[in-house]
Amino acid sequence: MANKIFRVNMSTLTTSIEDVPESWAGHGGRGLTSTIVAAEVEPTCHPLGPKNKLVIAPGLLSGTIAANSGRLSIGAKSPLTGTIKESNAGGTAAQILAKAGCKALIVEGLPEKDGWYSIALTPESITINEETELPGKGNFAVLETLADRLEGSPAILTIGQAGEMKMCSANVSIKDPDGNLRSSGRGGLGAVMGSKKIKFITIDPKDGKVEIAEPEKFKEANRVFAKALMDHPLTAGLGQYGTNVLVNVINEAGSLPTKNFTAGQFEGHEAISGETMHDIIVERGGKPRHNCHAGCVIQCSQIYNDAKGEKLTAGFEYESIWAMGADCCVDNLDQIAEADRIMDDIGIDTIETSVAFGVAMEAGVLEFGDGAGICRILQEEVTKGTGLGRIIGNGTGSVGRAYGVTRVPVVKNQAIPAYDPRSIKGMGITYATSTQGADHTMGYAVTANILGVGGNVDPMSKEGQIELSRNLQVATAAIDSTGMCLFIAFAALDDEKCLPALIDLLNARFGIALTGDDVVALGQSILKTERGFNLAAGFTAADDRLPDFFYTEPLPPHNVVFDFTDEEMATFWDF
Amino acid sequence: MKVTVKLFAFFRESRFKLENRDLEKGTTVGNIVDVLGINREEIGVLMINSRHTTLETELSENDILAIFPVIGGG
């Protein structure tokens, strides 16, 4: 299937299928979404106006048999941060989009009249259809209705009420192989889709296949690559306990942000830990292991049942559990799972929204620990778009401004996730310098700072942190372009066969001859493209800082502050 | 001397979550790991009092030792 650019203009309600420009051919995933956004979106535009574009791209290896290659990148100018944004997630869409011969789907413009639309993509066609039944409905209703309406198992991208109301924390939600949802959660890309009045996108690959230039070489490289993933000792723990295995180790390290970032340890950590979650899942007949996309050999997702044994939520992640748990002081996993399900249904980022609740708790909107209150506000306020619901749905910074709270954990207006930067300083560098606001996945320094993966760097020392974060951010930008799940990085950091096998996969897929240096250069150029967009949008070095309370309020139990100067931080970009 | 030992993830299976132990002075982290029958190669993170440590470190009165297998996520 030849790779094409599929373009949808919502102003004129027209579509086109175009050849891939030469300069985009070597890109995929994040590299491609950022290249297209930088090339076609005015950096100073309003993210919810007609000049912004939503760009959706499978990775370079998506749609092939390569293990763990099913991540989909979605990019735009973010309404939350005002920066360039790429958010990637699993589900079936990346592989199906690649099989349909789509290198990238670009949605531009805004419709002139009221009303909602859907987009249907096949290898030969892309159409815009009016949609009257599903607006106002949650994501699960969309999946149920479309399961009856459509033939086969098309990929589905959808927005819930949060996206329709253009809330800055809105997800684009992606159907997984079993009808659960994965979320492109960070940065409010669902609001961009909502601004263009698109309720859902379906992709039917027909009998499309991804062509492999050198099939035998590809198979052999995949064998080596998949073995490296399977053999890494970390894979077993991720499968058994999910990402939530981290609660106890980050708590033990004194770096689990608790009670709106006022402490580094949570008394109720054991109740919300991966170990406890695993036991509950097994006891209630759920699934401790589950893959968010076909071909994943790690299987860190899971199905979490309620006390009656009915499915409550899936893909129950550490970041979500930490944010509603420790940061909001809720020590009840069932309440957290209920809130997780509601947020999936509304289509709203579990990190941004839960950290926003932590700030709302500090403001006295509800008490710390009030898990039932979180669920009630999500259902009665956020889903319905009341004043309070919109304040929370527009994110952590929005709540801080509305209630006059000064301890607001955001960088570039995006909520800081589950590792306190005062006692894991490498993460502070990543949060501050990331091209996309605070985001742990941009350069996961927890590896060497805490987990002893890819070396050891003292988490409370400044030594080596900038270089660590830089190397990880460069590598991550490259990995995010392949369609690979970031969790391949653990094996790539420790197993010398893993990264060469990944490069062999790329070379065999396209019949090219990339080297390790080329991959580093790709990562560097993606970061520079993204930063160039941000500088043109008006960001400066002064935006690469943490909120001031991190420099002034010591974090128990280690009683440390974040202490990098602006000058030190600026050296991050020396490459 | 009194030391608290905490185990995590699958190291808890057939062992314990937390135990208070009375140990000889000079006991190292590695000694405890061996007594517990934990394969040293499976260890990912060792902490004493919430700071990283090594198998060779000698424990002190009232230390809290945490032993984790190789884990990750994010």
| Smallest Cα distance from A442 to chain B, Å | 11
Selected residue of A229, A245, A422, A430 to mutate for chain B interface (largest B Cβ count, 10 A) = A245
- Contact criterion met (CB < 8 Å) for A233 and B6: no
Structural domains in chain A plus CATH codes: 4-203 (3.60.9.10), 236-403 (1.10.569.10)
Of A311, A539, A289, the C-alpha closest to A432 is A539
Q: pLDDT grade, residue A41 (50/70/90)?
A: very high
| C-alpha triplet A92, A95, A98: angle, nearest 5° | 140
Q: Which residues of B touch A274 (CB under 8 A)?
A: 9, 73
Q: What is the pLDDT of residues A319-339, one digit of tens each?
A: 999 999 999 999 999 999 999
Beta carbons of A398 and A169 less than 8 angstroms apart? no
| Helix, strand, coil tally for chain A in percent (to 5) | 45, 15, 40
Q: List phi, psi (to 5°) of A483.
A: 90, 0
A22 sits in which H/E element: none
**A1 pLDDT above the threshold of 90:** no
For residue B74, being part of any structural domain is answered with: no
For residue B12, being part of any structural domain is answered with: yes
CA B51 to centroid of chain Cα atoms: 12
CA distances from A399 to A80, A360, A363, A411, B47 (A): 13, 6, 9, 14, 37
What angle in degrees, to the nearest 10, is found between the helix axes of A29-40 and A516-537? 30
Q: Which residues of B touch A450 (CB under 8 A)?
A: 45
Q: Choose the closest CB to B45 out of A300, A452, A558.
A: A452
Token pair 């009341």 is found at: A386
Name the closest residue on chain B to residue A488, using Cα atoms: B73
Mean pLDDT of chain A: 97
Interval A236-256 mean pLDDT: 95
Classify the complex by whether its ipTM is higher than 0.95, answering yes or no.
Answer: yes
Q: Which domain holds residue B13?
A: 2-69
Q: Which residues of B touch A458 (CB under 8 A)?
A: 52
Q: What pLDDT sits at residue A245?
A: 96
Q: What is the pLDDT of residues A176-193, one digit of tens each?
A: 999 999 999 999 999 999
Q: What is the CATH number of the domain that holds B38?
A: 3.10.20.30
Interval A31-48 mean pLDDT: 98
| Smallest Cα distance from B24 to chain A, Å | 25
Interval B13-24 mean pLDDT: 97
For residue B29, being part of any structural domain is answered with: yes
For residue B37, being part of any structural domain is answered with: yes
- Contact criterion met (CB < 8 Å) for A557 and B50: yes
Distance CA A170, CA A323 (A): 17
Q: What is the pLDDT of residues A454-498, one digit of tens each?
A: 999 999 999 999 999 999 999 999 999 999 999 999 999 889 999
Interval A237-249 mean pLDDT: 94
Q: What pLDDT sits at residue A308?
A: 97
Interval A352-372 mean pLDDT: 98
Q: A310 in contact with B at a CB cutoff of 8 Å? A: no
- Contact criterion met (CB < 8 Å) for B9 and A275: yes
**B73 pLDDT above the threshold of 90:** no
Q: What pLDDT sits at residue A236?
A: 83
Identity of residue A326: A
Number of domains making up chain B? 1
- Contact criterion met (CB < 8 Å) for B73 and A458: no
Q: pLDDT grade, residue A237 (50/70/90)?
A: confident
Q: Choose the closest CB to B9 out of A237, A440, A459.
A: A237
DSSP 3-state of A542: helix
Of A348, A432, A344, the C-alpha closest to A398 is A348
- Contact criterion met (CB < 8 Å) for A241 and B71: yes
Interval A389-399 mean pLDDT: 98
Beta carbons of A468 and A430 less than 8 angstroms apart? no
Tokens for A416, please give them: 């800081």
Q: What pLDDT sits at residue B51?
A: 98
Interval B14-39 mean pLDDT: 97
Q: What pLDDT sits at residue A566?
A: 93
- Contact criterion met (CB < 8 Å) for A234 and B72: yes
